[in-house]
Amino acid sequence: MENVSNRVAQLAVSETLAMSQKSRELQAQGVDVINLSVGEPDFNTPDFVKDAAIKAIENNFTHYSPVPGYADLLQVISDKLKRENGLVYGTDQIVVSGGAKHALTNVLMATINAGDEVIVPAPYWVSYVELVKLAEGKSVVIPTSLESDFKITPQQLAEAITPRTRALMLCSPSNPTGSVYSRSELKALVKVLVKHPNILILSDEIYEHINYEGKHESIAQFSEISDRVIIVNGVSKGYAMTGWRIGYCAAPKWIAKACQKLQGQMTSGTCSIAQKAAVAAIGSDTSFPQMMCKAFRKRRDLAIERLKKIPGFKANVPQGAFYIFAEVSELLGKKFGDQVIASSADLCMYLLNHAHVATVPGSAFGSPEYIRFSYAASEEQLIEALDRIDKAVREMR
């Protein structure tokens, strides 16, 4: 009787959200937990964006909106893509959804058939493989490690391609590693993709504004393949708007049309008020994201310096996003009292229960010998969290 569908039964729970929930529960019990698990800016949404939302309510933007989004929002997104990325997308190539996560879901559901292969470089963001599963596709994971700065090589890509390959997922700047593909690295991947005209490229650019290396490079800039690139982006990270749930895809017309069809049946146009807030955010200059990026860079430097002194933690200097993906294999197999810390999940639970710091196990991202923590927290919190981790790790034998 109480059997959920196979579709849901085979789906894993989002571990980023689960760890965050666990840390909230401990906090509710009065435990002083520092939450470095879920990745979201600790900044508040800027006032000019909030004001636009208030105005939207006052002006009665409270009715159903067009399925792909209000015309003014589609226009500011099209303008943004031109202005910031040098890309030309008509408003009929853009579909606004309830967050980038929803945009990704739409695109996968609209393009993947049962058994189609989707190449997913690991470490990958938690939801990619689960969403591919939901679309009945098959993830083909390309492993990478600290040594290659978590980037796939053209050879690895070529070797992963089969006649069943339908799509490649790319995420730069990356969650969970913070790695950023340079233009020349993207070009090398494009050289491989040119030979396989049926492969779609899903480019998740949600962290584009949190890039410490300079200009954001999108794989859509390469005209050889641009007619099969789908950009997924949104306002969650760049404008500190995670709760507003606005994301979008910019895609070839046929894919945008398919996403619109799907969304028309599943959710309709996304929240009218949040859309008007997004018009203000995306239509503004980038001074707000730049301000956050500067702050995150300072915290990254601080966190990396401190992390180096913790035994058993190895990490690269991330070039973007706000995560450190630390290799912890040396610690696995150690004990605290009778408790064996056998996996990165055990380590994260130990750090949560013993040091009261919430992190996410690398297994959630397809790399079980790592743990991820977000440095989108205040400098005081970061220092305290890393001191606690250091102490807890030294207590393991």
Footprint of ligand PMP (CB under 6 A): 39, 99-101, 125, 171, 175, 204, 206, 234, 236, 242, 247
Residues 93-112 that bind ligand GLU (CB under 6 A): 101
**C-beta of 238: minimal distance to ligand GLU in Å?**
13
Q: Which helix (H) or strand (E) holds 189?
A: helix 183-193
Task: Quote the CA–CA distance of 264 and 268 in Å, as a whole number.
Answer: 5
The secondary element (H helix, E strand) that includes residue 102 is helix 100-111
DSSP for residue 113: P
Which lies closer to ligand GLU via its Cβ, residue 14 or residue 284? 14
Say if CB 192 and CB 154 are below 8 A apart. Answer: yes
14 binds, among ligand PMP, ligand GLU, none (CB under 5 to 8 A by kind): ligand GLU
**Residue range at the interface with ligand GLU (CB under 6 A); choices 14-22, 195-203, 279-287, 328-336:** 14-22
Residue 102 Cβ vs ligand PMP, minimum distance, rounded to whole Å: 6
Of the two residues 179 and 334, which places its CB atom closer to ligand PMP in the complex?
A: 179
Reference 206, options 41, 390, 2; nearest CA is 41
CB of 371 to ligand GLU, least distance (A): 13
Phi-psi region of 283 (alpha: psi -120 to 50; beta: other; left: phi over 0): alpha
Residue 39 interacts with ligand GLU (CB under 6 A): yes or no:
yes
CB nearer to ligand GLU: pick between 39 and 318: 39
**CA separation for the pair 106, 279 (Å, rounded):** 22
Tell me whether residue 104 or residue 109 sits nearer to ligand GLU (CB atom).
104
137 near ligand GLU, judged by CB under 6 A:
no
Beta bridge partners of 312: none
Select from 78, 139, 175, 319 the one that contacts ligand GLU (CB under 6 A): 175
Q: CA-CA distance, 269 to 61, in Å (whole number)? A: 12
Cβ atoms of 359 and 19 closer than 8 Å:
yes
38 binds ligand GLU (CB under 6 A): yes
> How many whole angstroms separate alpha carbon 66 and alpha carbon 61?
12
Binding residues for ligand GLU, rule: CB under 6 A, are 14, 16-17, 38-40, 101, 125-127, 175
